[in-house]
Chains A and B, each alone.
Chain A
Amino acid sequence: GAVVSQHPSRVICKSGTSVKIECRSLDFQATTMFWYRQFPKQSLMLMATSNEGSKATYEQGVEKDKFLINHASLTLSTLTVTSAHPEDSSFYICRAPTGAYEQYFGPGTRLTVT
């Protein structure tokens, strides 16, 4: 079945640095991918929609200059957390729709900012 991977699975960085998270669709193409953030004991919150070949669209309250999204190919979307701060520590998950009923999610990336 379709698989979505994320890299890295876990990252620890210092406050003020930038972190890039990759989301790949392994055996299908995805013109659209979605990025979610999840804080402990909370539900997934949609951050933005990544569009291949065009700008991402962000949900209300999500800073586009802080969370840079690049969807350079049909199988890769990247989320860069710029100038990360401890409050950005979270579980980041991507989703890639296949066009079928099932929606494939990545395994998530645990970001810890110290």
Chain B
Amino acid sequence: DAKTTQPPSMDCAEGRAANLPCNHSTISGNEYVYWYRQIHSQGPQYIIHGLKNNETNEMASLIITEDRKSSTLILPHATLRDTAVYYCIVRSRSSGAQKLVFGQGTRLTINP
């Protein structure tokens, strides 16, 4: 699976949009971009995933660049409960039951 690069930490004001970038320049054609987050002392939680089109669900939006070498996770109205470590992972669709390897992620702090 392709490697990803994320900033180690970010801050955002409560109520504002939080934009978390991820670089995945070696992504291949059959690989999806997944985002998970981990709130302190809990298991990771799935947020969203995409292949090449922008995606939106009740939690977040995912914007993938046209060349698919980078993406941005957007939390439109961040709350204090969104404080967590966010992980961007690239993996192929066929590997549903295969290894899921985590990088260092971005530690997002939402400030009141």
* B85-101 interface bits toward A, Cβ cutoff 8 Å, 1 = contact, 0 = none: 10100000000110111
A 39-69 binary contact with B (CB < 8 Å = 1; else 0): 0000111100100000000000000000000
Does A43 contact B102, Cβ atoms closer than 8 Å?
yes
Instruction: Given A44-B44, A110-B41, answer yes or no on A101-B101 (Cβ-Cβ < 8 Å).
Output: no
B residues 72-112 near A (Cβ < 8 Å) are 85, 87, 96-97, 99-105
Task: Compute how far the CA of A36 lies from the CA of B100 in the bound complex, rounded to whole angstroms.
Answer: 10
Give the nearest-CB partner of B95 in chain A: A97
Name A91's contact: one of B36, B41, B45, B46 (CB within 8 Å).
B41
User: Residue B46 contacts which of A93, A103, A107, A108 (CB distance < 8 angstroms)?
Assistant: A103
Per-residue CB proximity of B31-74 to A under 8 Å, as 1/0? 01010101001111110010000000000000000000000000
In the complex, chain B residues whose CB is within 8 Å of the CB of A91: 41
Compute how far the CA of A46 lies from the CA of B89 in the bound complex, rounded to whole angstroms.
14
Contact of A102 with B by CB under 8 A: yes
| Complex: A6 Cα to B34 Cα, angstroms | 24
Residues on A with C-beta less than 8 A from B42 are 107-108
Q: B97 touching A105 by the CB < 8 A rule?
A: no
A residues lining the B interface (CB < 8 Å): 4, 6, 31-32, 34, 36, 43-46, 49, 91, 93, 95, 97-108, 110
What 7 A-B pairs are tightest by C-beta distance, nearest first? A105-B43, A44-B102, A102-B46, A97-B97, A43-B102, A32-B97, A105-B44
A/B interface sample: 28 pairs, CB < 8 A: A6-B43, A31-B97, A36-B102, A43-B85, A43-B103, A43-B104, A44-B38, A44-B44, A44-B102, A45-B102, A46-B99, A46-B101, A93-B44, A95-B100, A98-B96, A99-B97, A101-B32, A101-B34, A101-B46, A101-B96, A103-B36, A103-B100, A104-B46, A105-B43, A105-B44, A107-B43, A108-B43, A110-B41
